Amino acid sequence: MRKYIMPIVAVIALASATPAMAHDTGGVLSMQEALEVATDIGLTTISHTQFAGDKWEIQGRDRTGRYIEVAVDAATGDVLWVNR
């Protein structure tokens, strides 16, 4: 009987564990969607992407090779600003 106690305890512990749930983004744009918005306004080469709370900041180059930085609103997908 003793050899069954530990496996029973392990099964009970595993059965009572709650599964990990994915974080609900609450309608926030994914990085891929933000990159699509940035490429629509002329960004062709991406060098850095960062999520900054309420916006995506994307850095890279345009088709002529000039530096460009774009901020995309994470909730609406609107372009907030563009630095060249």
Domains along the sequence of the chain with CATH: 25-83 (3.10.450.40)
pLDDT of residue 58: 96
Residue 40 above 90 pLDDT? yes
**Helix (H), strand (E) at residue 41:** none
- Which pair of structure tokens corresponds to residue 60? 């890279």
pLDDT of residue 49: 95
Q: How many residues does the chain have?
A: 84
pLDDT of residue 10: 62
Angle CA 6–10–11, to nearest 5: 120
23 C-beta neighbours (distance < 10 Å), count = 6
pLDDT of residue 28: 87
Contacts of 54 (CB under 8 A, 6+ apart): 73, 74, 75
Q: Are 40 and 58 in contact (CB under 8 A)?
A: no
